[in-house]
Amino acid sequence: MTFSAQIRQAVEPIWAASMEHPFVKGIGDGTLPLENFRFYIQQDSYYLTRFAKILALGAAKAPDIETTNQFADFAKHTYSAEIGLHEQFSKRLGITAEERALFKPAPTAYAYTSHLYQAGHSGHLGDVIAAVLPCYWLYAEIGDTFQDAAPEEPIYQEWIATYGGKDFQDRVDEQIAHLDKIAAAVSEADRERMKEHFIISSQYEYAFWEMAYQMETWPVPLEK
């Protein structure tokens, strides 16, 4: 079994729980209150700006110029496709400049991006990919699962289309191919550490839906 198939099998219960999460199901059937999605978009915009930096770090850590180019392209695509989409959604959802200026990440968004930074900065390209892969692969599976869903809300339709398309799946396949190649060449200790990054990111993916569903706050709110 390939390394990617092994780690995918290890996280099956976590990904199955994500698929069943009311936030995700609510996008699919259109019942998710827009207020929750608005909260998600703000937190996810923060998340994506950090995610793009970790992909750029992958470009810097790549062993050859072709892989550097590919990871630089992953970072650019995060900006042009996902952050661009969030900017459009933010306008349509009436997120104001003042709200943006006052924005603070919720605990889970802060913790998840800190995990990506820690895994990415402390290791090699395999650590970067293991940490970011659930972000690609899980969303592609969700997009695929809900491809035929027809929520009434156009924003939810567009969100599903972004992750359900061939372009996003191609990027997942490229990341998996890199990870399997690296996993075959490194030590067992490296493979164990990469698996752990993948599991932790998968747990945080679930926690991110829950954060948006509960509109999570820090335990002791401060005056703005």
Ligand X SMILES: Cc1ncc(CN)c(N)n1
Q: Of the residues 12, 205, 210, 223, which is catalytic? A: 205
Q: Is 155 in the site for ligand X (CB under 6 A)?
A: no
Q: Is 47 in the site for ligand X (CB under 6 A)?
A: yes
Does residue 86 contact residue 97 with C-beta atoms inside 8 Å? no
Choose, by CB under 6 A, the member of 71, 139, 146, 156 that binds ligand X.
139
Smallest separation (angstroms) from ligand X to the CB of 42: 12
Q: Is 135 a catalytic residue?
A: yes
Smallest separation (angstroms) from ligand X to the CB of 221: 23
Choose, by CB under 6 A, the member of 56, 71, 82, 143 that binds ligand X.
82
What is the per-residue binding string for ligand X in 159-198, x denoting contact by CB under 6 A? Answer: ----------------------------------------
Smallest separation (angstroms) from ligand X to the CB of 185: 27
Considering the complex, state which of residue 111 and residue 149 has its C-beta at the smaller distance from ligand X: 111
Task: Tell which residue, 81, 82, 57, 78, has the closest CA to residue 68.
Answer: 57
Buried b / exposed e along 12-29 (16+ C-beta atoms within 10 A): eebbebbeebebbebbbe
Q: Is 146 in the site for ligand X (CB under 6 A)?
A: no
Q: Is 44 in the site for ligand X (CB under 6 A)?
A: yes
Could you tell me which stretch among 24-32, 41-49, 69-77, 181-189 binds ligand X (CB under 6 A)? 41-49
Smallest separation (angstroms) from ligand X to the CB of 223: 29
- Catalytic positions are 135, 205
Query: Which residues here bind ligand X, judged by CB under 6 A?
Result: 44, 47-48, 82, 135, 139, 205, 208
